[in-house]
Structure 1
Amino acid sequence: MAPWWGSRATPLRVQTDKIVPLGYFDDTLVNKSYICYNLLVFEDRLDPKELCDSLGRLVRRSGWEKLGARLRTNFSEDRPAVGFTQVHYETTAESHGIRVPKATSRPALVGDPDQFTKLVRAPGVPTTLDDYLNTDRPQLGIHIVCYEDLTVVVTHFPHTLMDGTALGMVSHAWALVLHGKEDDILAPVDWTSDPLSELGKNPSSAAPLVLKNQVMSTPGMAVWGLREKLHNTFSTKEGRIYCVPKSYLKKLRGAILLELAAEAQLQGREDEFDREWKPSDHDVLAAWFTRLAVSYYPRASTRMVAIQSATSWRNVLEGELLPPGRPYISNAIGVLAAMLPVKDILQMPLSYVAMQIRHAFLEQGTRDQAEAYCAAMRHSRYKLPPLYGGSSTHYFVFSNLAKAKFYELDFSPAALGARDGPCRPSYTFNTLNPPTLDDGYIVNKDIDGNYWISGYRAKRLWAKM
């Protein structure tokens, strides 16, 4: 932890404190580098105190104390269960420069995420791990921004606490507390021990990493890192929010399925087609968006592209390392990659690109591959995940939060004033500090089935999509 210590004095340990080490895959260089922010935008006025009190009640529940940030069991007014800050503007959100993105009838750029990131840069909101190490701050906190016509609820925490899947579990448990349904909250996996402490210690020689031969060498990583540093120094990043309406995606996926059916017929395997795995919404979106994003390359370019998808290992670990059906509030993520040259992305049918992404999930998302992937992290000096490709590879990373169902959250008990129906966010946004590398995208799905993609890339490249 030495690189993160600042000049401020570390808070003294309280006699009743219980010390619990971070889990092995929580305490990584990547996780220690980022603070996470999840924004829920409600076009209603919500009660900040009710939101804070209800989240505090969740954290005080047996098994959920880990969210109390210091990993301590004693909370009081002086040492609250969750961090809480708020700001109130006696004006509308739009007059303050906040425009909630609206769904469109066709794919379109609909906004700039920086209008939301400025909301988290407020006094009292942590920005680095040092803000937690050198203060008595809870790991989990909320920052409420109130306007006359809407409320923005910002949840913030260090990435060492949990991943996006776990945040979804926490958020839905929070909503249950708001509705007085605390008996429906599942007991999370015991946080006082590390259930993944053995993960990656027993890789099978019969099941090495599928992309073992494409793991970047140390010299390659050095060149790639230098190139990224120069790029970030001399290019201007620009964030955008992209909307892909449900109707368009349905049409696009239908066309891809027709392409695959026609291919199966030509190969004389029509009978097998219905039994084969079909590309998911994520596969189609990632293939389609990547094709747009690399369209500025020459069509015959042989430059390699890594289409990477973040995945949770929870499903393949349940029943062995994780008890089934219980929330695991920690980090359990890997990255799966489809490796393709630009020319294949631009020239081959979109169905081909989508199926390469699907094959990556099927081949790299197994229990054996989770073991091999985590073994590679254990062999890395800083527990870095394997990076596939060469120093010139163009990387895209898609983190799909649709399964977290943030748009289905109902915070109506915290709404000010009577209402008949649920109070759900009209927009959600996730960001990190510091911002991710170029072409790292967050994917989410709203209550109507529309998809939202947000991310950053070099300013000049958005205009070429």
Structure 2
Amino acid sequence: MLKNLTAPKRVQPPRIDTDEVIPMFYFDEYWRWIIMSKTIRFNDVLDVDKLHSTLSHLCTMGEWRKLGGRLRKNSAGHYEIHVPREFTSKRPAVGFSKVSFDTSIEDHPVASKMPNHPTLADKPSIQCGPEELKGLNQYDGSPRSIDDFLYSDRPQLHLHTVSFGDATLVTYTWSHSLMDACGMQALYEAWSLVLGGKESQVKPLAGYKDAMADFGLVQPPKPWLFESIVMGMFSMIFFGLRWIISNLGKAKPETKAIFIPARMVQKLRTEGLNQVPDVDEKGNKMFLSEGDILLAWITRTVCLDEPLGAHRDVIIGNALDLRTRLPNVFSPEKSYVQNAIFMIYTVEKLKKVVQGTVGSLALHIRKLIVEQVKEDQLEAEARLTRVAKEKFNTIILVGSANSVLVMCSNWTKAKFFEALDFGPAVLKQGQPDETRVNGLGKPAYFYWNMLNDQPLGMKNVINIMGKDAEGNYWVLAVLGQKQWQNMEVELARR
């Protein structure tokens, strides 16, 4: 803190008159403070210069140029993206750095800790998290806050690669204000097409006009489902204080990966369906997705060590991509590299979560998802979200100060193990066909990391990263020490 007080005041680089200025989209501003990196393991030797040149070229195509812009804050306090008229070696579209080792990835003291499918067999397990892989995803001058973008001329994307004799790690770093998970998917698909010489098939980016600029401005005819229990400012403050106090004296929450084999997911889903009626109220066959089941099972495991109170609620926040839910807002003919996510909430009594079945909780989650994805409900939530942002500069949360909050983001629909195809950049196959699950030039594993300091006591964060070519799921979770112990016990039972 003293260092921050004594450090010289940072100033933004001088404005360049020829730069094209794009206002940051309204809902993108919510996420600006989160600085992300994502590291992807390929069990092949890749031409990393080709990866860089094709990504850079994508950022010169039409409104895809926005991705090569610089973040700025204007005199009115609003955020903008300043796009150079021409990208040069001094002002590149994409930052780039690379490191190489002549040895196998399995001989590297840190990279060898990354999960590799042949060593996992068919047993669920807890694997190392981003902290244990620190160093692989960072480069000299890696950003740590939004200020590192505002007070420099760095582009929004930086590509960092680590090459081995039989594998390649590809990391890109960005401010979350640039995109969400499905924005990443759109970027992956476009990048893969350019890499494969199919530039003409790249969808145009809707990058300059905010598709959601008017969404939530009009008062909807019906209130949002959970409007009556939206936390006010004081409730949020008390919730935060209780959260911090409850974690005092405890070990810092840890981020780790969970490997869940396909057969375990299938068994959980079968058990869950057996725990609920065969048909719903309308006589339709009961449906529970793998995501419903996984979220219910993980939530129950996370809550096992929570003190049971007669009136304590569990609040499950589930990130929902809006692109396919709002046909009047988003066109299937365009790509949307931005943040287009709202939280869909589930509220249930803690006692019922812990003592009830996974199937009943999954069904409750499913019913509330169906109710909240209706367009009028999404518009009602958007309206409240705007009010919270303009009044308190915060997101909306539901529940009370003593609620147990579990936040989840499910990336399965983004198909990250499929969307990225670096086959045309493969110089040498690393892993032999008989032991590999992923195709040539396809991701074998990936993980993300928040580069800025995490909020004090942040835990109960679940990221279902998706499933690989064999249907095995990967989950990244931020949990407390006791919760990880409970997770080990639950996995051992499977």
Provide TM-score, normalisation by structure 2.
Answer: 0.85
Q: CA RMSD in A?
A: 2.3
- Of residues 15, 18, 30, the one that matches 2:20 is 18
CA contact (8 A) 1:45 1:149 kept: yes
Aligned residue identity for 2:292: D
Q: Secondary structure at the match of 2:45?
A: coil
Whether the aligned pair in 1 keeps the contact of 2:38 and 2:137 (CA below 8 Å) is no
Q: What corresponds to 1:63 in structure 2?
A: 63
- 2:475 aligned partner: 453
Q: Partner of 1:359: helix, strand, or coil?
A: helix
Q: 1:75 is matched by which residue type in structure 2?
A: F
Query: Does the 8 A contact of 2:32 with 2:176 survive in 1?
Result: yes
Judge conservation of contact 1:216–1:387 (CA < 8 Å) in 2. Answer: yes
**Residue aligning to 1:429:** 447
Quick check: 1:296 aligned with 2:305?
yes
Query: Contact 1:69 / 1:82 at 8 angstroms: preserved in 2?
Result: no
Of residues 190, 198, 206, the one that matches 2:214 is 198
Partner of 1:178: 195
**Of 275, 280, 290, which residue of structure 2 is paired with 1:281?**
290
Residue 125 (structure 1) shift: 2.1
Q: Which residue of 2 aligns with 1:462?
A: 484
After superposition, the Cα gap between the structure-2 partners of 1:6 and 1:450, relative to the gap in structure 1 and judged at 3 Å, is farther
Q: Which amino acid aligns with 1:417?
A: K
Q: Give 5+ residue unaligned stretches, structure 2.
A: 71-81, 434-438, 488-494
For the pair 1:322 / 2:330, whether they are aligned, the reply is yes
Tell me how far 1:79 sits from its aligned partner: 0.8
Please name the residue that 2:228 is paired with: 213
Report the counterpart of residue 491 of structure 2 in structure 1: none
Match of 1:97 in 2: 110
Contact 1:48 1:144 in 2 (8 A): yes
Relative distance call for 1:225 and 1:284 in structure 2 (3 A) is same
Residue equivalent to 1:156: 173
Q: Distance in 1 between matches of 2:317 and 2:450?
A: 18
Query: 2:75 aligns to what?
Result: none
Residues 273-323 of structure 1: per-residue CA shift (max 9 Å, x gap): 32x5x11111110001111111224677642111211011112222x2222
User: % of aligned pairs identical?
Assistant: 30
The CA distance in 1 between the partners of 2:470 and 2:426, in whole Å, is 22
2:257 and 2:35 mapped to 1: Cα distance?
A: 21
Runs of 4+ in 1 over 6 A off after TM superposition: none
Q: Do 1:299 and 1:347's aligned partners in 2 also have CA atoms closer than 8 Å?
A: no
Describe the SS at the equivalent of 1:316: coil
Structure 1 pair 346–418 and aligned structure 2 pair: CA distance change class (3 A): closer
Structure 1 CA distance, aligned partners of 2:340 and 2:315? 21
In the alignment, which of 120, 124, 144 is matched to residue 107 of structure 1? 124
> Judging changes above 3 Å, is the alpha-carbon distance between structure 1 residues 447 and 297 closer, same or farther for their aligned structure 2 residues?
same
Q: Does 2:125 correspond to 1:123?
A: no
Kept in 2, the 8 Å contact 1:84–1:142? The answer is yes
TM-score, normalization: structure 1? 0.90
Q: Distance in 1 between matches of 2:333 and 2:348?
A: 36
Task: Quote how far apart the aligned CAs of 1:230 are.
Answer: 4.2
Partner amino acid, structure 2, of 1:27: E
Q: CA deviation at 1:25?
A: 0.8
Instruction: Tell me the equivalent position of 1:45.
Output: 45
Superposed, which structure 2 residues align to 1:228-307 within 5 Å?
228-230=243-245, 234-235=249-250, 236-262=252-278, 264=279, 272-274=283-285, 278-297=287-306, 302-307=311-316
The SS at the match of 2:368 is helix
Residue number among 374, 385, 388 corresponding to 1:377 in the alignment: 385
1:225 aligned to which of 228, 240, 253: 240
CA deviations on 1:97-119 (whole Å, 9 max, x unpaired) are 22232344233213333233432
1:87 equivalenced with 2:99 (yes/no) = yes
Q: CA–CA distance in 2 between the matches of 1:129 and 1:442? A: 23
CA distance in 2: counterparts of 1:362 and 1:394, whole angstroms: 23
CA apart distance, 1:170: 0.1
Unaligned runs of 5+ in 1: none
Q: 1:248, 1:160 → 2: CA distance?
A: 36
**Residue 421 (structure 2) pairs with residue 410 (structure 1):** yes
Separation in 2, partners of 1:259, 1:54 = 50
CA contact (8 A) 1:261 1:273 kept: no
TM superposition shift of 1:231: 5.2
Name the count of aligned residue pairs. 450
Give the Å deviation of 1:387: 0.2
1:330 CA displacement: 0.9
> What displacement does 1:418 show?
6.5
Q: Which stretch has the larger CA shift, 417-426 or 18-27?
A: 417-426
Which SS does the other structure have where 1:424 is aligned?
coil
Q: Does 1:144 align with 2:152?
A: no
Q: What is the distance in 2 between the residues matched to 1:34 and 1:219?
A: 24
In structure 2, distance between residues paired with 1:248 and 1:445: 13
Q: Distance in 1 between matches of 2:151 and 2:205?
A: 28
Contact 2:429 2:440 in 1 (8 A): no
Q: CA offsets per residue over residues 162-204 of structure 1, 9 Å max, x none?
A: 1111011101211111111111111122x22222111111131
Q: Tell me the secondary structure at the aligned position of residue 417 of structure 1.
A: strand
Q: 1:203·1:368 contact (CA, 8 Å) conserved in 2?
A: no
Within 5 Å, which residues of 2 pair with 1:1-16? 7-16=9-18
* Contact 1:41-1:428 within 8 A present in 2 as well: yes
**2:446 and 2:122 mapped to 1: Cα distance?**
19
Distance apart, 1:424 and its partner CA = 0.9
CA contact (8 A) 1:92 1:149 kept: yes
Structure 2 CA distance for partners of 1:59 and 1:397, relative to 1, 3 Å: same
